[in-house]
A and B are shown apart, each in its own frame.
Chain A
Amino acid sequence: MKLLSLTDKLSLNKFLVNEGEPHIIIDKKACQTCTGKSCLTGCPAGLYSEQNGEIIVEWAGCLECGTCRIICNKKAIEWKYPQGGFGIIYRQG
């Protein structure tokens, strides 16, 4: 079976993105003191990355599981569900 990159996996899904209204907000100051940075590996959609010493999240591809919120040991991730109707729309589930 053909394996897909994470980006290609996410592109199989249907998302309705609420442009300009991120549902995940990172307290970047708190990240500065974080050594574990579990978000970089734990997110099943691989949305977290570190760029120029800052943690960035590409929230538009969020699968809305909530893993990052629970595993962040700095409590630096403010994570809510997207506004009603927006976000991931599973067609199979």
Chain B
Amino acid sequence: MSSEKYEVIIIGAGLAGLSAAYSLAQAGIEVVVVERGDYPGSKNLSGGVLYSRVLDKLIPNFWEEAPIERYITNYLTTLMTKYDYFNLEYKGKALGSIPYNAVTVLRAKFDRWLAEKAEQAGAMIVTGIKVEKLIKEGNRVIGISTGDEEMLADVVIAADGINSFIAQEAGLRGEIKPLHLAVGAKALIELPRERIEERFRLTGNEGAAYAMLGEATRGVAGGGFFYTNQESLSIGVVMRLDDLVKEKVKPAEVLDDLLQHPMVAPLVKDGVMTEYGAHLTGEGGLHMVPAKLYADGMLIVGDAAGFTINSGLVIRGMDLAIGSGIAAAEAIIEAKGKDDFSEGSLSAYQRNLDESFVMKDLKLYAKTPEFMESDRLYKQYSHMVNHLFGKVYAHDMSPKEHLVKTAMNSLKESGISLFDLAKDGIKGVRAL
């Protein structure tokens, strides 16, 4: 058995691993990224937009060279019932200006580009190799084994995604609860560029992103996402695993229903599905982040560390992955200065995270998952809002009622008590 020694080994060429690799290579640290996929991005799936200000920190003016699809200028939140829908839309001029706030990406292209950047900076990227296990010396992680080969390093970064078997093996993460995970099933639909721009009211490379609640998931906790790429649309349903099991729905069928919904069908008309994928995502926010993110000779980043935020309106993961990759690299650079890669020295990673938007935002939204557990968000509220607007706009020659009375009726029809409404209102304000 041969065993080469590097300064840093990173398991997984996703956004967290590659951001760490790029930052480390730029600081002149010898780093190798080991990726099980055929190429970086080949196992990855985006289920939302990339809030890209942190990418600008990593690679200034990234938009001049990165394969971004569109920058998001139109945000829509949709409350759906089976046949009706209510949209809330925001379009802001600043969102369409440099430095862009958020972009859509197709991971098979985007991750490959970031891997090339890391390689140009001096990192080594090895693909098609799966890491089987960690090599330890006592409690200290000293390298990885791929089965045939061993590789040694001062520090190993687990950037192996939401299922992170490596973080589990290291004892940093236990089994994740179904309540803290959701599965996303996604279709990629090709449509000519002009059609996309007309249908979504976009100019040039502007983009739209929808968050859909209610019937989008047949009332299962979670939601639908729908956003524009240059010449395709990404649409998917995300459902919390505990509720998916309880309701016994099939993800692919829920997605088919969504594609036929009166809001979606005209937007995807004549589109051609070219890829169908699925991926797990974190739903627990801060609750699923392990108590400790470092050990002797090891750090965990990105999805492997449970860094995702779902505020209902905004779903984030990719920006937190990049932020945590940068924080990990900075901690390792500091540790190298002291030539000390012990747990104590690598705890600088936690400090860096605490000082960055990653932990600040996770803490800010810590109460959101609890709020999002209310069944009413996925079932009754969509019904209530659509019922209310149905009444507001209907003029069927019966006498109109005062709006407050109409609203009270809609609440009653939807099975929401004033007490529930007050409770969710207070929780919601605290959570968001």
Residues of A participating in the B interface, judged by any CB pair closer than 8 Å: 1-4, 6, 9-10, 12-13, 16, 36, 38, 41-42, 44-46, 63-67, 69-71, 80-85, 87-93
Query: Are B108 and A90 neighbours in the complex by a CB distance under 8 Å?
Result: yes
Q: Which residues of A contact B274 (CB under 8 A)?
A: 12, 92
Query: Are A93 and B129 neighbours in the complex by a CB distance under 8 Å?
Result: no
Q: Chain A residue with minimal CB distance to B46?
A: A93
Q: Which residues of A contact B183 (CB under 8 A)?
A: 42, 44, 65, 67
Task: Pick from B88-96, B116-124, B244-252, B422-430 the stretch touching chain A.
Answer: B244-252
Q: Which residues of B contact A2 (CB under 8 A)?
A: 272-273
Min CB gap B142→A, angstroms: 21
Q: Chain A residue with minimal CB distance to B251?
A: A44
Q: Which residues of A contact B270 (CB under 8 A)?
A: 1
Query: Are B36 and A42 neighbours in the complex by a CB distance under 8 Å?
Result: no
Q: How far is the CA of A12 from the CA of B38 in the complex (A)?
A: 18
Size class of the B contact interface (CB-based, 8 Å): 35 or more
Query: Are B275 and A90 neighbours in the complex by a CB distance under 8 Å?
Result: yes
Query: Are A71 and B43 neighbours in the complex by a CB distance under 8 Å?
Result: no
Query: Are B250 and A93 neighbours in the complex by a CB distance under 8 Å?
Result: no
Query: Are B280 and A1 neighbours in the complex by a CB distance under 8 Å?
Result: no
Interface of B is mostly: mixed
Contacts A42-B241, A93-B277 aside, 5 further interface pairs with beta carbons under 8 A come to A36-B245, A46-B250, A65-B278, A71-B178, A84-B128
Q: Which residues of B contact A84 (CB under 8 A)?
A: 36, 127-130, 146
B134-179 residues with Cβ-Cβ distance < 8 A to A are: 146, 162-163, 165, 176, 178
Q: How far is the CA of A36 from the CA of B107 in the complex (A)?
A: 35
Q: Which residues of A contact B372 (CB under 8 A)?
A: none
Min CB gap A93→B, angstroms: 3
Instruction: Known A44-B183, A44-B251, A83-B130; judge A16-B38 contact (CB<8 A).
Output: yes
Q: Which residues of B contact A91 (CB under 8 A)?
A: 42, 108, 275
Query: Are A92 and B130 neighbours in the complex by a CB distance under 8 Å?
Result: no
Q: Which residues of A contact B129 (CB under 8 A)?
A: 84-85
Query: Are B38 and A63 neighbours in the complex by a CB distance under 8 Å?
Result: no
Q: Which residues of A contact B130 (CB under 8 A)?
A: 81-84
Task: Pick from B1-9, B184-192, B328-336 the stretch touching chain A.
Answer: B184-192
B385-418 residues with Cβ-Cβ distance < 8 A to A are: none
In the assembled complex, B290 has its CB within 8 A of some CB on chain A: no
Q: How far is the CA of A91 from the CA of B43 in the complex (A)?
A: 9
Query: Are A92 and B188 neighbours in the complex by a CB distance under 8 Å?
Result: yes
In the assembled complex, B87 has its CB within 8 A of some CB on chain A: no
Query: Are A90 and B162 neighbours in the complex by a CB distance under 8 Å?
Result: no
Query: Are B162 and A93 neighbours in the complex by a CB distance under 8 Å?
Result: no
Q: Which residues of B contact A66 (CB under 8 A)?
A: 162-163, 280
Q: How far is the CA of A82 from the CA of B130 in the complex (A)?
A: 8
Min CB gap B352→A, angstroms: 29
Min CB gap A5→B, angstroms: 9
- The listed residue with most B CB atoms (<10 A of its CB), out of A3, A13, A89, A90, is A90
Instruction: Known A1-B270, A16-B38; judge A67-B278 contact (CB<8 A).
Output: yes
Min CB gap B250→A, angstroms: 5
Query: Are A93 and B245 neighbours in the complex by a CB distance under 8 Å?
Result: no
* 10 examples of A-B residue contacts, CB within 8 angstroms: A2-B272, A2-B273, A12-B274, A38-B245, A64-B43, A65-B278, A65-B280, A90-B44, A93-B44, A93-B108
Q: Given B38, B188, B252, which contacts A6 in the complex, CB threshold below 8 Å? A: B252
Min CB gap A86→B, angstroms: 9
Q: Which residues of A contact B108 (CB under 8 A)?
A: 90-93
Q: Which residues of A contact B280 (CB under 8 A)?
A: 65-67, 70
Q: Chain B residue with minimal CB distance to A10?
A: B276
Min CB gap A30→B, angstroms: 17
Q: Which residues of A contact B189 (CB under 8 A)?
A: 1
Q: Chain B residue with minimal CB distance to A93?
A: B107
Query: Are A41 and B45 neighbours in the complex by a CB distance under 8 Å?
Result: no
Q: How far is the CA of A13 from the CA of B111 in the complex (A)?
A: 18
Min CB gap A39→B, angstroms: 10
Q: Which residues of B contact A46 (CB under 8 A)?
A: 250, 252
